[in-house]
């Protein structure tokens, strides 16, 4: 920075700075760049996480409304599915804007690589309940959300008069809120533990895109503590 020295009679030397030197400007820009490089990934994750959470809540709401509407119009719900006359794919296709349907393995955009989600330990595949298997049907909605479930889903109920004991007859699937796009990661607890309570309850600070669900009667709900934490988070 260039300086000019001024003196009034009987006074000490005063310094008046007129501007920054090139070196000072470059140092400042370098510091700003380092700070931006450190903070941008975190900001991007938070932005994506907020979008995933919103899309997840929207998907659950849309699926719930679809089955309620189907009961009003065609008088059957998840409990009445028989994988023959009353199929889940048909129910949702009639009540929602389905733009594509896959039966069996799901492929990524390259048309070759098989879709796999990553679970909390980094292994491929989600788990036995929600993986895209040969027996799965996967529906893609116009908002980019994907819902995959066993093609033979039927008698999905918690009604004890229909033979249900607890969750013994519920049906399971999963939602990927941005379809086959990355990151394809299963939601997990970022702090706390599954089944924990109080200070040890499952908390999710960085929502991702894959959410296991279970459905029965006229209800669809998260099938993990992490999914519930995202759904009920403020």
Alpha helices in the chain (DSSP H): 22-74, 88-95, 225-232
Domain membership of residue 81 (yes or no) is yes
Domain membership of residue 6 (yes or no) is no
Domain membership of residue 10 (yes or no) is no
- 27: Cβ–Cβ under 8 A, 6 or more apart, which residues? none
Burial 77-109 (b: 16+ CB within 10 A, else e): bbbbbeeeebbbbebbeebbeeeeebeeebeee
Residue 139 has pLDDT above 70, yes or no: yes
Would you state the pLDDT for residue 29? 73
Structural domain of residue 161, as residue ranges? 22-232
More confident residue, 177 or 17: 177
Mean pLDDT of 96-117: 87
* Overall domain count for the chain: 1
Would you state the pLDDT for residue 127? 43
Domain membership of residue 1 (yes or no) is no
Closest to 51 (Cα-Cα) out of 178, 139, 146, 141: 178
Domain membership of residue 29 (yes or no) is yes
pTM > 0.75: yes
Domain membership of residue 12 (yes or no) is no
Mind listing the pLDDT tens digit for each residue in 151-181? 999 999 999 988 888 888 999 889 999 999 9
More confident residue, 6 or 85: 85
Would you state the pLDDT for residue 122? 40
Residue 11 has pLDDT above 60, yes or no: no
Would you state the pLDDT for residue 36? 53
Mind listing the pLDDT tens digit for each residue in 31-56? 776 665 555 555 455 568 899 999 99
Domain membership of residue 78 (yes or no) is yes
Residue 18 has pLDDT above 70, yes or no: no
Domain membership of residue 69 (yes or no) is yes
Residue 61 has pLDDT above 60, yes or no: yes
């Amino acid at each position: 920075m260039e300086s000019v020295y001024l003196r009034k009679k009987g006074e000490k030397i005063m310094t008046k700075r007129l501007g920054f030197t090139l070196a000072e400007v470059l140092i400042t820009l370098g510091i700003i760049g380092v700070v931006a490089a450190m903070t941008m990934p975190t900001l991007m994750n938070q932005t994506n996480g907020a979008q995933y959470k919103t899309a997840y809540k929207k998907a659950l709401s849309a699926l719930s409304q679809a089955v309620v509407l189907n009961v009003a119009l065609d008088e059957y719900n998840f409990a009445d599915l028989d994988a023959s006359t009353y199929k889940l794919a048909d129910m949702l296709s009639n009540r929602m804007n389905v733009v594509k349907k896959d039966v069996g393995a799901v492929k990524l955009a390259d048309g070759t690589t098989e879709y796999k989600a990553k679970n909390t330990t980094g292994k491929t595949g989600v788990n036995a309940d929600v993986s895209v298997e040969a027996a799965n049907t996967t529906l893609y909605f116009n908002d980019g959300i994907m819902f995959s479930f066993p093609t033979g889903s039927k008698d999905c109920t918690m009604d004890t008069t229909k033979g249900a004991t607890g969750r013994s007859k519920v049906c399971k699937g999963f939602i990927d809120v941005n379809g086959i796009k990355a990151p394809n990661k299963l939601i997990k607890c970022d702090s706390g533990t599954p089944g924990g309570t109080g200070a040890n309850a499952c908390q999710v600070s960085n929502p991702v895109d894959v959410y296991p669900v279970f459905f029965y009667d006229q209800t669809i709900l998260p099938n993990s503590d992490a999914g519930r934490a995202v759904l009920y988070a403020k």
